[in-house]
Amino acid sequence: MHVPPNSREKVTINTLQAKKEHREVITMLTAYDYPTAQALDRADVDAILVGDSLGMVVLGYRNTLSVTMEDMLHHCKAVSRGVRRCHLVGDMPFMSYQVSTPEAVRNAGRFLQEAGMDAVKLEGGREVAASIEATVTAGIPVMGHLGLTPQSVHKLGGLKVQATSAEAARRLLEDALILERAGCYAVVLEAIPERVAELISKRLNIPTIGIGAGAHCDGQVLVTHDLLGLFDRFTPKFAKQYANLQSQMMQAFRDYVADVTSHRFPSAEHCYPIREEELRALLESLEEQTVPPTA
């Protein structure tokens, strides 16, 4: 299956697999709300990840650990309302899949059944393989996530580059192969050396989607708030800023305050008129009627 660029057909897991086979790069970005999802859909991005980065870039938490199933489902629903074409991936939050396989399958199912997602993503390697297998068996496509896995921030000792030793890189490759065997249709590789990501991308039959993993992955993903310059508390080395909406937003707010305080806004074009005779009738009736009617 060859997918022409700008096709308005729905992007599925088969489309992404075909892109890998035809060496066409997969594009993915995050979204957490309806207008952003609409813009990404119209911009012909292949896939939208409703990431648990939501916790940091939208909800203001220090890391992703506080994000709940209810937070994720709420934002996934908003995103799915804005999308006709993009492949939609819902990120399973911390503690929604780590406790037991049945819980993982049940929570994964909610992303498809209640929130309109096409697939789920979860973090980890061999330790989550059984849950991935059961989830895929239940008919739910699963995207894996290896390398820097932010839900393990405390175990990793911070948000930092992974798989920099031969031993760690070998273990990561093994994990990637395990995820493929467990049934994942794609794997995110985050913050690992470019050559390690290249090796994994060549060994896997399923697509790899990199973030801070260099140019040789089968696809790329970024956090949209990093790309738009909407989040300045933490800027990873791999993020590329395409706009600075934070400063544009601030300027717009300052302009509004200046307009309101100097009475330039609202002006006539923003006001609703009333016909002259209606106004006159109103004023006359008010002059006649000195005591307000009782109910």
For residues 41 and 91, which CB has a smaller minimum distance to ligand KIV in the complex? Answer: 91
Interface residues toward ligand KIV, by CB under 6 A: 30, 49, 51-53, 91, 188, 190, 211, 221, 223
Burial class (CB in 10 A: 0-12, 13-18, 19+), 125: buried
Look at the alpha carbons of 180, 182, 188, 193 in this order and tell me if their dihedral is positive or negative.
negative
* Smallest gap from residue 140 Cβ to ligand KIV (A): 18
Give the count of beta carbons closer than 10 Å to the beta carbon of residue 15. 18
Identify whether the C-beta of residue 197 lies closer than 8 Å to the C-beta of residue 217.
yes
Distance of CA 269 to the CA centre of its chain: 38
For residues 91 and 175, which CB has a smaller minimum distance to ligand KIV in the complex? Answer: 91
Residue with nearest beta carbon to ligand KIV? 51
Q: Which residue has the tokens 């489309």?
A: 15
For residues 209 and 284, which CB has a smaller minimum distance to ligand KIV in the complex? Answer: 209
* Smallest gap from residue 205 Cβ to ligand KIV (A): 21
* Smallest gap from residue 51 Cβ to ligand KIV (A): 2
* Smallest gap from residue 52 Cβ to ligand KIV (A): 5
* Smallest gap from residue 164 Cβ to ligand KIV (A): 19
**Active-site residue flag, 190:** yes
Q: Which of 24, 123, 180, 190 is catalytic?
A: 190
156 — phi, psi (to 5°)? Answer: -85, -10
For residues 82 and 219, which CB has a smaller minimum distance to ligand KIV in the complex? Answer: 219
* Smallest gap from residue 91 Cβ to ligand KIV (A): 5
For residues 22 and 62, which CB has a smaller minimum distance to ligand KIV in the complex? Answer: 62
For residues 53 and 135, which CB has a smaller minimum distance to ligand KIV in the complex? Answer: 53
Give catalytic residue positions: 190
